[in-house]
A and B are shown apart, each in its own frame.
Chain A
Amino acid sequence: MADAPILEVEDLRAVFGGGRRLLGAPRPSVKAVDGVSLAVRRGEVLGVVGESGCGKSTLGRTILGIQREAGGVIRLDGRVVSGLPPRAARRLRRDVQYVHQDAGAALDPWWSAGRSIEEALIVNGVGGADERRRRIDGVLSAVGLDLGVRRRYPHELSGGQLRRVTLARVLVLAPRVVILDEPTSGLDLSVQATVLGLLRDLRARLTLTYVFISHDLSVVRQMCERLAIMYLGRVVETGDTARIFEAPRHPYTRVLLAAAPRLVAGRVLDASAVLGEPPSPTAVPSGCAFRTRCPHAVARCADAVPVLEPSTGAGAVACHRWREI
């Protein structure tokens, strides 16, 4: 690769809880992100995929800097931006912005859309009411909203319009990397298509890089060039989207792809590949976290955590047995 990744994380960790209760009993800690290494290339859409509780949102929030990392390094343009308290971390990571998954909850119901967007500019010290007004008008038309939306309140807007406002609020800051957390969850199919089309269009026009967090495999297949599959806080497989869909290497990736509904009628449902349910994040199995549900697990899977190693076709897989299975 000629150009360096725009964003890199190395052995990133984020931990919740832990410590003791007021009287005695220790609280179990949750390693929500447990040693994740990823490189995001300039201008690409990297999908982070997994089921609820796999740590994909926490990974996004840790990269952003609102969740402090418990270990590991984050590099933006080759510069280390980790190891700082949240306020300082956010200042250094201004080029990285985050779009919350619940557009309704992300906006203040008492504030007009225009004021919510302007707040982002004020917080970031973009001065001059005229300058801010000009920027807001520019970004509203970029996301395909009428300028009249500036004076509207969240309850007056549809789900699709709310998404556009939350996008506008982030894009007005001219970020380079946008973390999209489930950008279409809760949207109807027709609105989802419009929002995905808009995201694709904006990336090309504004030369953005996306980290696209989602559990919807049909959506990531359509939107992402590369994927990172997560299970219980760790990345189990990375690679080009097309390759992962054609030839998944990790047993969990296989299960996930097999379980995703497809638009093909009359397929015989085969649940035999899916064993049980994910264990609690407070009691992650030793060794490979997936071994308790893996049809290929052997004794050594319980002993050592498999590391992410290069597999064929520019991907990587964290499985002791990926060559044999």
Chain B
Amino acid sequence: MTAGTALLAVEGLRVSIAADDGVARVLDHVDLAIPGGRVVGVVGESGCGKSTLARAILGILPRAARVESGRIAFAGEDLLRLDQRELTRRIRGREISFIPQDPYLALNPTFRVGTQLLEIMRWHASDGAADGARGRRARHRARLVELLRAVQLADPEQALERYPHQFSGGQRQRLLIAGALACRPRLVIADEPTTALDVTTQLQILKLLRDLAGDFGVSMLFVTHDFGVVAELCDEVMVMYAGQSVEAGATAEILDRPRHPYTQMLIACHPDRSSDLAGIPGVVPSPLAPPPGCRFHPRCPSARAVCAAARPASVADGGHAVACVLYG
């Protein structure tokens, strides 16, 4: 993974969060590259830091969080050097937008859908055009209607006048996708956007995201715990364990030839791949007291003494990068 061609490049990101009983080192060393126009999945089990990574990129980490080191380069600019005002004005919502996990919680039930989506554009899509507030509003509205058509929502004009409860879960997710595309972003970050949906609706939304990524030429960061969804949607995937990125590469490569012991064991837990259903021995470590070195070493069948000494550097072979001493 080289930062040169990537739209987004996260390098060596470390984030800690102050808690009552110590400091939680939630991201220990994370590398991620998203080339322009690609859909990249971040996959891992709960507590691995995948949502924290998404929040760090968006600049919406909790107040108690501190970025210890690393870079988040977006189109060559280090986002960690920008203050909140600048992030709000130039980046968030405009260049990088967000599709949340739960379409039932993300919309305010007391306002019309159109009001809420136009609000996004009023904040983030203001431009210097001379037609004044009224003309801008009309343009925004026309753009929204066009987007609602693109996300295949029936009667877009009318939809804007309705309230969230009048839509099903799948329709609400479509509204939020339209909202995320409203300001012509270059990167869309989606955090488990299909987890709350049924499989048939999930398929429709995945298909829609896939098509829109192509049609609108946006890159996408897709956070999920579901390897099946990664297989369906993502060009590339990065696997995280306990706050560290352990492996990254083309989706087919990772699914069929995983190299890191954690990735191998995790994929073997999928009911499509395993008939003995053994699981992974041991438990995920607490971020308050993570093991030194490679955080997977206490559970790893191939662990050696060096694994506890230092986190192995990521070694790339073609497009396939793995952070494990077995491949050093």
Contact = CB atoms under 8 A, between A and B. Distances in A.
A265 B251 contact: yes
Contact of A261 (B202, B266, B273): B202
Nearest to B168: A277
B265 A218 contact: no
Interface residues of B, number: 45
A270 B273 CA distance: 23
Contact of A196 (B202, B252, B277): B277
A259 B45 CA distance: 23
Interface in A94-151: none
B261 to A, nearest CB: 13
Contacts of A263: 227-228, 231, 255, 267, 270, 272-273
Contact of B271 (A158, A219, A266, A274): A219
A189 interface: yes
Contacts, number: 122
B206 A189 contact: no
Contacts of A259: 199-200, 202-203
Given A189-B269, A192-B269, A261 B207 contact: no
A39 to B, nearest CB: 26
Interface residues of A, number: 39
B82 interface: no
Interface in B252-291: 252, 255-256, 265-267, 269-280, 283
A247 interface: no
Nearest to B282: A190
A92 to B, nearest CB: 34
Nearest to B227: A263
A189 B255 contact: no
Residue among A223, A259, A261 with max Cβ neighbours from chain B (10 Å): A261
A21 interface: no
A261 B206 CA distance: 10
A51 interface: yes
Interface in A154-193: 158, 188-193
Nearest to A201: B277
A265 B255 contact: yes
A293 B285 CA distance: 47
Given A51-B198, A194-B277, A259-B200, A267 B271 contact: no
A52 B283 CA distance: 31
B204 interface: yes
Interface string B65-98: 0000000000000000000000000000000000
B21 to A, nearest CB: 15
Given A188-B225, A261-B229, A265-B251, A255 B276 contact: no
Contact of A197 (B232, B267, B277): B277
B275 A222 contact: yes
A70 interface: no
Interface string A274-307: 1001100000000000000000000000000000
Nearest to B226: A261
A269 interface: yes
B269 A269 contact: no
Contact of B201 (A221, A258, A277): A277
Contacts of A260: 199, 228
Contacts of A262: 228, 231-232, 272
Q: Which of B170, B251, B275, B280 has the most chain A CB atoms closer than 10 A to its own CB?
A: B280
Given A190-B279, A218-B270, A260-B199, 4 more contacts: A192-B269, A218-B272, A261-B228, A262-B232
Interface of B: 45-46, 168, 170-171, 198-204, 206-208, 210, 225-229, 231-233, 250-252, 255-256, 265-267, 269-280, 283
